[in-house]
């Protein structure tokens, strides 16, 4: 029963990957956790607490302790800035080829003093990134996409400011080979890009944002401001089913949007006194005691059963939302200060490539399909849309099945 000798590759350092890695490590299995970003946490780490006086059970805080625990877990080796380039099977083991982006900011040397932040002229563009998780180390990373050095090859203010000489722009990408006995794919979802629905105004009207952007705003700033002028919005509209339940395209329900929109709406009302309208088709069930929750939400929010078909800037700087509640009725254009699009959970665009790499199939929507290749397991929203608590359980299943597979292989 020497699970202790086994190594498992977990692809994706979000809540699914972290949960699966922790569950595996708890059984003594060594885990290589591969994350393509500079920091772990993925999308779950961007979610904000939506509590009123009491918790609304949005489950966002489920991820925090698990992500912190995975950072502290000695059996989990985290490979940041890494993507899996190849997986091949030899004698029942998997040989994995990782390609790693260079760490221009040496994590062994950086003390996180922040002097580079003060020196950086492109900080607002995101040239130096900071993690959302307090437990994450190092505290800083350079983003080549925004960093001026990679444009002009001479801006080295941060490098010159660093007392630890941690910044080196000459580092090169590298490769690493791993040998593992099983692979867990926890590559998550992609939030639906509402630019595909031009009439909803996203990208054209500054005060039309996605719910994920609202979450990040609440989490990072703790305040509510509309993007156009920074003023606190008084009247807010949520538009449901953006990129979900389409007749052609994403013809599935993303499961989480009604839950997060109603909770965000209640939080905006309670914290900032905003008047909130939610435009919806059907309110889905989520969590315990849903009747009580929906009753409370209906008392605080204006729930409008209608899908707006046009959103555009009004003359007074407000956003006009055009909709119709009854057949034959004249359409009305109602002004709002902020419009939040409840974007759905789309399959990760990398799924076809990942599926090819790992020898897996895709389902009709483009999510990864499990059980097609022994030794390969799926965790979290890579498989289908789910909320944080469901991801934790699903990752538990991936770990449980991985352990079963490893034990069976042994005997």
Partner 1 sequence: MSQPAKVGVFLCQGGRQAADSLEFKQLRWTADAAAGGLVFELPQTCQAEGAAAIARLTQEHELEAVVVGACPLLKNPGQLSGALRQAGLDPDMALVLDLCQKPASQAAGTCQVAPGAQAALSQALCSQVFRHPLACESRQVATRVLVLGDGLAALLAVRGLAQAGYPVSLLTPGKRLAPPVPLLGTEAAEMAAALASEVEGLAGVDLLRQAELLSLSGGAGDFRAQVRDRGGELHELKLGAVIMAQGPPLAQNRAGLGLPESERVVSLSQFLTMLAAPEHLQKRFGGRPLRVGLLVGLARQADPLSMRAACLAAQRVAVDPEARAVLFTGNAKVAGSGLEALTQQVRGQGVIMVKFSAGGLKAQETEGGVEITWDEEVLGSSLSQEFDLLVVDETPAPDAAYWRLARRLGLAPGRDGYLQPDQVAALPVQSRRGGVLLVGPARGQGEPERWQDEVAEALLETRGLLQRGEVRLEAGRVQVDRKRCAICLTCVRVCPRGAMGRLDRRPVYNPLVCTACGTCAAECPMEAIQLVGLEDERFSAEIGAAAGRVGDLGQAGERSLMVFLCANSAAQAFRAARLAGSEPPPGARLVEVPCAGKLDPDMVLEAFRRGFDGVLVLSCFPDACHSLTGSTWAGYRTGHLQNLLSEAGLEPERLVSAGVAPSQAREVMRLMAQAQEAVAALGPSPLKVGAQVRELLGRYTLEVDETYAIIA
Considering only residues 101, 234, 397, 409, which one is a binding residue for partner 1 as defined by CB under 8 A?
A: 397
* Alpha carbons 251 and 277: distance in angstroms, whole number: 25
Q: Does 249 sit near partner 1 (CB under 8 A)? A: no
Residue range at the interface with partner 1 (CB under 8 A); choices 177-185, 202-210, 227-235, 244-252: 244-252
Q: What residues between 331 and 360 interact with partner 1 by CB under 8 A?
A: none
* Minimal distance, residue 90 CB to partner 1, in Å: 27
**124 touches partner 1 by CB under 8 A:** no
- Under rule CB under 8 A, residue 75 binds partner 1: no
- 376 part of the interface to partner 1, by CB under 8 A: no
Phi, psi of 395 (to 5 degrees): -65, -35
- What is the distance between the alpha carbons of residues 363 and 45, in angstroms, rounded to a whole number? 27
Q: Does 251 bind partner 1 (CB under 8 A)?
A: yes
208: region left, alpha or beta (phi > 0 left; psi from -120 to 50 alpha): beta
Does 157 contact partner 1 by CB under 8 A? no
In the complex with partner 1, which residue's Cβ is closer, 102 or 287? 287
SS3 242: strand
The stretch near partner 1 (CB under 8 A) out of 182-190, 282-290, 330-338, 352-360 is 282-290
Element (H, E) at 96: strand 93-100
Nearer CB in complex with partner 1: 79/318: 79
Output 83 or 158, the one with its CB closest to partner 1: 158
By CB under 8 A, tell whether 148 contacts partner 1. Answer: no
Q: Does 74 contact partner 1 by CB under 8 A? A: yes
CB 370 within 8 A of CB 397: no
Q: How far is CA 237 from the centre of its chain?
A: 23
Can residue 389 be called a binding residue for partner 1 (CB under 8 A)? Answer: yes
Using DSSP bridges, classify how beta strands 319-323 and 332-336 pair: parallel, antiparallel or unpaired.
Answer: antiparallel
Stretch that binds partner 1, among 172-180, 195-203, 205-213, 217-225 (CB under 8 A): 217-225
Judged by CB under 8 A, does residue 137 bind partner 1? yes
- Phi then psi for residue 292, to 5 deg, are -60, -45
User: Is 138 a binder of partner 1 (CB under 8 A)?
Assistant: yes
Tell me: does residue 187 bind partner 1 (CB under 8 A): no
Q: Is 124 exposed, middle or buried (0-12, 13-18, 19+ CB in 10 A)?
A: exposed
| DSSP 8-state code for residue 274 | -
For residue 104, list its beta bridge partners.
Answer: none
Region binding partner 1 by CB under 8 A among candidate stretches 43-51, 178-186, 333-341, 354-362? 43-51
The span from the CA of 96 to the CA of 109, in Å, is: 28
Residue 27 near partner 1 by CB under 8 A:
yes
Q: What is the CA angle 10-250-200, rounded to 5? A: 115
Does position 72 interact with partner 1 (CB under 8 A)? The reply is yes
Minimum CB separation from partner 1 for residue 230, in Å?
16
DSSP-H helix ranges across 122-256:
149-152, 157-161, 211-221
Instruction: Name which of residues 80 to 119 contact partner 1 (CB under 8 A).
Output: 107-115, 118-119
Could you say whether residue 225 binds partner 1 (CB under 8 A)? Answer: no
Residues 6 or more apart whose CB falls under 8 angstroms from that of 209 comprise 202, 217, 227, 338, 339, 340, 341
From the list 184-192, 199-207, 219-227, 353-361, the region that binds partner 1 by CB under 8 A is: 219-227
Q: Which stretch, 93-101, 183-191, 261-269, 400-408, contacts partner 1 (CB under 8 A)?
A: 400-408
Phi, psi angle pair for 410, to nearest 5°: -75, -40
- Supply angle C-alpha 331, 335, 339, rounded to 5: 105
Closest to partner 1 by CB, 186 vs 205, is 186
In the complex, least distance from residue 86 CB atom to partner 1, rounded to whole angstroms = 29
Binding to partner 1 by residue 377, rule CB under 8 A? no
Pair of tokens at residue 359: 């020898």
209 is an interface residue for partner 1 by CB under 8 A:
no
Q: Which two tokens stand for residue 54?
A: 């009491």
Identify which of residues 281 and 313 has a Cβ nearer to partner 1 in the complex: 281
The two structure tokens encoding residue 237: 């509209």
For partner 1, give the closer residue by CB, 110 or 190: 110
Judged by CB under 8 A, the chain residues 299 through 318 that form the site for partner 1 are 303, 305
Torsion of CA 83, 386, 226, 309, to 10 degrees: 110
Q: Does 38 bind partner 1 (CB under 8 A)?
A: no
């Amino acid at each position: 029963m020497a699970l202790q000798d086994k190594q498992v590759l977990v692809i994706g350092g979000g809540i699914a990957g972290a949960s699966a890695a922790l569950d595996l490590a708890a059984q003594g299995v060594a885990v290589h956790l591969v994350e393509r970003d500079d920091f772990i946490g993925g999308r779950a780490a961007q979610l904000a607490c939506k509590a009123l006086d009491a918790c609304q059970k949005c489950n966002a805080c489920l991820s925090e302790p698990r992500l912190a625990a995975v950072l502290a877990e000695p059996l989990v080796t985290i490979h940041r800035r890494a993507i899996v380039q190849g997986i091949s099977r030899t004698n029942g083991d998997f040989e994995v080829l990782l390609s790693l982006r260079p760490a221009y900011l040496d994590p062994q040397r950086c003390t996180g003093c922040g002097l580079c932040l003060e020196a950086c002229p492109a900080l607002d563009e995101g040239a130096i990134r900071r993690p959302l998780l307090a437990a994450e180390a190092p505290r800083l990373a350079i983003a080549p996409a925004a960093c001026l050095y990679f444009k002009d090859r001479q801006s080295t203010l941060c490098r010159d400011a660093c007392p630890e000489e941690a910044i080196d722009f000459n580092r090169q990408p590298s490769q690493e080979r791993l040998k593992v006995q099983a692979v867990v794919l926890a590559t998550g979802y992609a939030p639906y890009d509402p630019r595909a629905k031009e009439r909803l105004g996203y990208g054209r009207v500054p005060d039309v944002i996605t719910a994920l952007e609202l979450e990040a705003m609440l989490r990072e700033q703790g305040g509510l401001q509309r993007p156009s002028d920074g003023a606190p919005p008084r009247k807010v509209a949520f538009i449901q089913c953006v990129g979900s339940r389409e007749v052609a395209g994403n013809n599935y329900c993303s499961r989480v949007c009604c839950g997060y929109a109603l909770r965000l709406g209640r939080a905006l009302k309670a914290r900032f006194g905003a008047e909130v309208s939610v435009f919806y088709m059907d309110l889905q069930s989520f969590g315990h005691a849903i009747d009580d929750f929906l009753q409370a939400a209906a008392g605080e929010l204006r729930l409008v059963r209608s899908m707006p078909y046009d959103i555009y800037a009004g003359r007074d700087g407000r956003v006009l939302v055009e909709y119709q509640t009854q057949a034959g009725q004249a359409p009305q254009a109602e002004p709002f200060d902020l419009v939040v699009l409840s974007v759905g959970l789309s399959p990760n665009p990398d799924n076809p490539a990942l599926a090819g790499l790992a020898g897996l199939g895709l389902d009709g929507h483009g999510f990864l399909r499990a059980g097609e290749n022994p030794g390969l397991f799926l965790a979290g929203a890579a498989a289908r849309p789910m909320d944080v608590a469901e991801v934790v359980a699903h990752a538990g299943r991936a770990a449980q099945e991985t352990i079963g597979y490893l034990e069976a292989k042994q005997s």
